[in-house]
Amino acid sequence: MTAFIIRRFLGMIAVLFAVSILVFLIFIIVPGGDPASRIAGKHPTPQNVVNIKKKWGFDKPFYVQYYEMMRKVGTGLLPGNHSQYDVLRSFDDQTNVVHEIKKGMPATFSLTIGAGLIWLFWGVMVGVLSAITAGRWADRMITTVALVGISMPVFWLGIITRYFLAEKPSHPWFPDGGYVPLTASPWEWYKHLILPWFVLAVLFIGFYGRVLRSNILDTINEDYVRTARAKGLTPRRVLAKHVLRNSLIPVVTLFGLDFAAVLGGGAILTETVFELHGVGFYAAERVGALDLPPIMGVTLYGAFFIVLFSAIIDVLYAFLDPRIRPA
């Protein structure tokens, strides 16, 4: 088991390396991406561009540039003050990329953890309820609601909820966007997040509910469920112990990857609609400016969580399903 975990985490590092190379190469190939002429402004003199190239190291071979960028990401993660040669700067506004990402993390983490708990809980509820009432009116109703939930785009739902629940002067039940740190005021933090949590969770709830429903209906026909019923177990126990345990295993994978994606800055729409200045918001802004270092930073940051969580899922899987436990 330990060897399995170690192997899994070494694989993680390899994947991160590959991701960083790919992002870097894509940027070099992208047309109009020459950072020197962008930094130099609208009407630069050729000399100006050459100077900027020299100053930023764009005249060096790309592998040196790559190495430098990675080195700066690495030192940026270390605590303490760094000299200006060790700081990964935005080409656009020259801010410290690692700092900016760190600044966005509390909002992104708050959004993800809250929404994740909501969508996991309600996704399981929806799945179980529609599975045990399968084919009856309750199931049809839940299914319809779930499909509506899946079909509502986040930017639309976000704006609608903001408009009706936060902006209307007659009932401003919720704050109108923005983020308040938990440490500043837990109540305000909660009030600011509750709309984004639900808006982000709605899609996942519908989706998880559908997946779990069909998993449960598959599992219910398994022979071991018949065995459990033939033992004389109550329907509740058959469902909770023999059906759910087996049908939740695939949901664990889904949850791990979705959670990691949102944690890694994937909730760009939600963060933007609700003006939560998280990592996703930062990424969206920098992508618009074709600003390589932040894109690189956010991509690595996001990839880190995806890879980390898929490793965690693999390990968790082995605990949940003894059949795939390495001997």
Partner 1 sequence: MGERLLEVKDLKVGFTTEDGIVRAVDGVEFELDRGQVLGIVGESGSGKSVTAMTMLGLTRAHNTSFEGQVVYKGQDLLAMPERRLRDVRGNEIAMIFQDPMTSLNPVYRVGDQIVEAILTHEDVGKRTARQRTVELLRRVGIPNPSQRVDDYPHQFSGGMRQRAMIAMALSCNPDILIADEPTTALDVTIQAQIIELIDQLKDDFNSAVILITHDLGVVADVANEILVMYAGRVVERGPKRSIFYDPQHPYTWGLLGSIPRLDRPKGGRLASIRGMPPSLINLPHGCKFRPRCPHAFDRCIEEPDLRNRVEERRHLDRCWLSVDEKRDLREATIKGEEAAA
Distance, CA of 298 to CA of 212 (rounded, Å): 32
Stretch that binds partner 1, among 43-51, 113-121, 151-159, 230-238 (CB under 8 A): 230-238
Token code pair at residue 45: 């003199």
- Rounding to the nearest 10 degrees, give the CA dihedral for residues 51, 54, 60, 65: -110
**Residue 224 touches partner 1, criterion: CB under 8 A:** yes
By CB under 8 A, the residues from 244 to 283 that bind partner 1 are 245-246
Token code pair at residue 165: 């629940």
Q: Do 105 and 279 contact (CB within 8 A), yes or no?
A: yes
Q: Do 129 and 140 contact (CB within 8 A), yes or no?
A: no
Stretch that binds partner 1, among 35-43, 151-159, 224-232, 251-259 (CB under 8 A): 224-232
By CB under 8 A, the residues from 83 to 112 that bind partner 1 are none
CB 143 to partner 1: min, Å:
19
* Number of residues in contact with partner 1 under rule CB under 8 A: 20
Distance, CA of 180 to CA of 192 (rounded, Å): 7
Stretch that binds partner 1, among 6-14, 111-119, 199-207, 316-324 (CB under 8 A): 316-324
Backbone angles phi, psi at 41, to 5 degrees: 95, -170
**Residue 226 touches partner 1, criterion: CB under 8 A:** yes
The distance from CA 302 to its chain's CA centroid, rounded to whole angstroms, is 7
Distance, CA of 90 to CA of 261 (rounded, Å): 23
**Residue 234 touches partner 1, criterion: CB under 8 A:** yes
**Residue 228 touches partner 1, criterion: CB under 8 A:** yes
**Residue from 54, 57, 231, 326 that binds partner 1 (CB under 8 A)?**
231
* Helices 2-29 + 62-77 axis angle, to 10: 130
CB 325 to partner 1: min, Å:
9
**Residue from 137, 223, 236, 288 that binds partner 1 (CB under 8 A)?**
223
Distance, CA of 92 to CA of 291 (rounded, Å): 6
Stretch that binds partner 1, among 183-191, 287-295, 304-312, 319-327 (CB under 8 A): 319-327
Nearer to partner 1, 144 or 227 (CB): 227
Give which of 118, 146, 166, 127 is closest to 262, Cα–Cα: 118
CB 130 to partner 1: min, Å:
17
- Catalog residues that contact partner 1 under the rule CB under 8 A: 222-224, 226-234, 241-242, 245-246, 320-323
